[in-house]
C-alpha cells in the first residue's frame, strides 16, 4: 500500500460543538480521508483520545464501527449523547484501555493531547502535580501505545496526528518525540503532510504519522 506524502484538506470543523469549546478538534475531512483510504464498511475504528468525537462520528457516518476512550467527563457525555454506538465510547484513562473489554480493532486514528516541554501540567494525568513534566508525559504516552498494540489486530494501521510546538523561543519537537514513543511498539511506515486549505494564519499544516502493528 502506497502512503500519500502530501494531501490538502479544507480547514473546516463541520459539527457544532456548543456548548463545548472546539479548540482540541481536528476536521472531519481529515478522518474521512484516512478511513476512505485504509478501511472498509464494518471495520472497527478506535480513538484512545476521543475528545469531541470526530473519529467516532465520522466512522459512524461512513458505516464503520466506532470505539473510543475519553478522560474528560464533559466531552465524554457530550459525544456519547449524540453517538448511535454510544456504548462503545468509554469514560476513562487510555493507559487502562485493556480494562474495558473492547474487541480487537482494525484501525486507529487519533490526535493525542499536546504538552510543550517547558510545561509542568501533564495532560495525561489531568495535571496531577505528582506526575508533572514532559519526560513523565512521554513515558506515559509510550505506555499507552504499548497497551494499544495489544488491542489492535495484526497488521492494523495506527494514524497519529501531531505537530511540533513553538512557544516564543521554546521549541518542542513533539511530533518527533511522539514518533519515538509510538515506534517502541509499532512499525513506522509513512508520514502524510497535511496542508490546510483556508488555513488559519498560525496553523497552515499538520502531520499524520502512519504506523503498522507488525
- Note the residues at the interface with ligand SAM (CB under 6 A): 24-26, 49, 51-54, 69-72, 75, 93-95, 111, 113, 123-124
Inter-residue contact 55 to 45 (CB < 8 Å)? yes
Decide: 52 and 20 in contact? Cβ < 8 Å. Answer: yes
Q: Which helix (H) or strand (E) holds 195?
A: strand 187-200
DSSP-derived 3-state class of residue 53: coil
Of residues 1 and 132, the one with the C-beta less far from ligand SAM: 132
Which cell is 142 given?
A: 509510550
Question: Closest CB to ligand SAM among 65 and 108?
Answer: 108
Element (H, E) at 79: helix 73-80
Spatial distance between the Cα atoms of 182 and 67, rounded to a whole number of angstroms? 20
Q: Min. distance of Cβ 142 from ligand SAM in angstroms? A: 13
Taking the C-alpha atoms of residue 95 and residue 212, their distance in angstroms, rounded to an integer, is 20
Distance CA 123, CA 202 (A): 23
- Give me the residue whose beta carbon is nearest to ligand SAM: 51
Give min distance, CB of 8 to ligand SAM, in A.
19
What is the bridge-based pairing of β-strands 89-91 and 65-70? parallel
Closer residue to ligand SAM (CB): 25 or 117: 25
User: What are the cell numbers at 128?
Assistant: 496531577
Shortest distance, position 28 Cβ to ligand SAM, whole Å: 8
Nearest partner of 160 among 139, 179, 187, judged by Cα:
179
Amino acid at each position: 500500500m502506497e502512503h500519500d506524502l502530501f494531501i490538502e484538506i479544507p480547514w473546516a470543523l463541520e459539527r457544532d460543538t456548543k456548548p463545548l469549546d472546539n479548540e482540541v478538534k481536528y476536521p472531519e475531512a481529515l478522518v474521512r480521508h484516512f478511513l476512505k483510504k485504509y478501511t472498509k464498511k464494518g471495520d472497527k475504528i478506535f480513538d484512545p483520545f476521543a475528545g469531541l468525537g470526530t473519529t467516532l462520528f465520522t466512522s459512524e457516518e461512513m458505516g464503520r464501527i466506532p470505539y473510543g476512550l475519553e478522560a474528560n467527563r464533559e466531552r465524554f457525555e457530550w459525544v456519547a449523547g449524540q453517538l448511535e454506538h454510544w456504548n462503545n465510547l468509554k469514560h476513562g484513562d487510555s493507559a487502562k484501555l485493556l480494562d474495558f473489554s473492547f474487541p480487537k480493532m482494525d484501525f486507529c486514528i487519533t490526535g493525542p493531547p499536546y504538552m510543550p516541554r517547558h510545561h509542568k501540567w501533564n495532560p495525561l494525568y489531568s495535571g496531577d502535580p505528582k506526575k508533572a513534566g514532559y519526560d513523565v508525559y512521554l513515558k506515559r504516552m509510550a505506555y499507552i501505545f504499548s497497551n494499544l498494540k495489544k488491542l489492535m489486530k495484526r497488521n492494523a494501521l495506527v494514524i497519529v496526528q501531531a505537530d511540533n510546538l513553538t512557544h516564543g523561543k521554546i521549541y518542542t519537537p513533539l511530533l518527533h518525540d511522539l514518533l519515538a514513543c509510538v515506534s517502541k511498539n509499532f512499525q513506522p511506515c509513512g508520514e502524510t503532510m497535511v496542508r490546510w486549505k483556508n488555513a488559519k494564519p498560525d496553523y497552515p499544516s499538520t502531520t499524520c504519522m502512519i504506523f503498522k502493528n507488525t
